[in-house]
């Protein structure tokens, strides 16, 4: 991560499936000074706390009277995917408003994949670096050190 150059005014998005920080570098390339612009959070309890119904069953037409179980929906994962789309939407709104020229995205690997799928072309063109690591549990000063290397 240390060989990445983060310029003054760059937006750093740090995200996982439940929290996102939008940080701006108020410092320079040598001395990062990340300041929180926006924080997004969602309450996403485990699937067992979200879905109460048993998985459904389907009648299998090839065998008379045979029924197959339907895989239970992972509501926790679905909520994380929806949250990634919300983050990508916020990034797009910032780009459209002219609030950022360059984006650096640090996200948990699965969320980074969901973000990539949800990027608008304008956002995709401004992403200069992606880090497949969850940094959301670190304080901002620690994120600065990790990004500066």
Q: Check if the beta carbon of residue 85 is closer than 8 Å to that of residue 118.
A: yes
Enter the tokens of residue 131.
């880090």
Instruction: Return per-residue pLDDT of the chain as tens, 149 residues.
Output: 556 799 999 999 999 989 999 999 999 988 999 999 999 998 655 555 555 555 555 555 555 555 555 566 777 788 889 999 999 999 999 999 999 999 999 999 999 999 999 999 999 999 999 999 999 999 999 999 999 87
Q: For the chain, how many residues are written? A: 149
What are the structural domain ranges in the chain?
9-24+32-40+75-149
Q: Which CATH superfamily is domain 9-24+32-40+75-149 in?
A: eRF1 domain 2 (3.30.420.60)
Q: Strand 11-15 vs strand 103-107: parallel, antiparallel, or unpaired?
A: parallel
Q: What pTM does this model have? A: 0.80
């Amino acid at each position: 991560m240390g060989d990445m150059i983060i310029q003054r005014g760059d937006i750093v998005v740090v995200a996982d499936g439940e929290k996102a920080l939008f940080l701006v570098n108020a410092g320079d390339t040598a001395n990062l000074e990340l300041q929180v612009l926006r924080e997004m959070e969602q309450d996403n309890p485990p699937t067992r706390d979200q879905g109460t119904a048993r998985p459904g069953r389907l009648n299998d037409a090839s065998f008379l009277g045979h029924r197959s179980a339907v895989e239970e929906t992972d509501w926790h994962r679905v909520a994380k995917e929806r949250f990634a789309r919300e983050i990508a939407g916020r990034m797009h709104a910032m780009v459209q408003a002219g609030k950022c020229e360059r984006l650096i995205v640090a996200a948990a690997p699965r969320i980074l994949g969901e973000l990539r799928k949800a990027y608008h072309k304008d956002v995709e063109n401004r992403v200069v670096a992606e880090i497949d690591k969850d940094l959301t549990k670190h304080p901002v000063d620690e994120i600065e050190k990790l990004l500066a290397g």
